[in-house]
Amino acid sequence: MGSQVAVIQFPGSNCEHDAYHLISKVLHHPVEFIWHQSRDLKGCEAIIVPGGFSYGDYLRTGAIARFSPVMESVKNFVSQGGLVLGICNGFQILLETGLLKGAMLRNRRLKYVCRHVTIRIENVKTSFTHLAEFGDVLSVPIGHMEGNYIIPSDELEQLEQKKQIVFRYCSTNGKITESSNPNGSLSNIAGICNFQGNVLGMMPHPERASESLLGSRDGLVIFQSIIESRPLKP
């Protein structure tokens, strides 16, 4: 990928600088912020919709941000094959815009969860995971109140069949267990992609696990995959 990565800023975002730092200082790749009121994506080839609390999470997480002018441009960008990564609140926004299927409920114990978890890579045939190995276990942090992913059973079956489940919460040895599920998410789902494979939403924060200083570099492979992306079949 030769062009820059764009990081969208909403009122209430608080993880955009983490993503910007990672792209610019760790991976040494061009990156630029885009304010939510702009419709100009500045010729980028990949977009990060960051975590935080867009619009204070009023009404419902991501429910107001979906109406920001930039999201119409993001939808057009996706329709043309552009790559979009939504992290935590960014995932919630992508669900609200309809770019990904499903919805979020409050965590099953109705408490904010902030800790490191382990997730297993279920699909490496995406532009976000093609540098990883199937079954790799990543140690990454989470920080959310509404991460309990739900979807109707018939649509869950479609996600399974079309290999759109990209990450699942797991034990440190890669087993999918109820005890390794931090929020009650259906089928231990931590991240999904669209059928075309160019939109990924995930609740864990890989940008917070991309330097040794942070205690884990496991999340780096996701951003390396984006920057070194190539056309892949979903």
Active site residues: 88, 205, 207
Provide the 8-state DSSP code for 228.
T
Contact 99, 199 (CB under 8 A): yes
CA distances from 170 to 39, 121, 123, 196 (A): 39, 10, 15, 25
How do 148-150 and 103-105 pair as beta strands?
antiparallel
Provide the 8-state DSSP code for 127.
T
Contact 38, 70 (CB under 8 A): yes
Q: For residue 100, which of 21, 9, 203, 231 has the smallest C-alpha distance?
A: 203
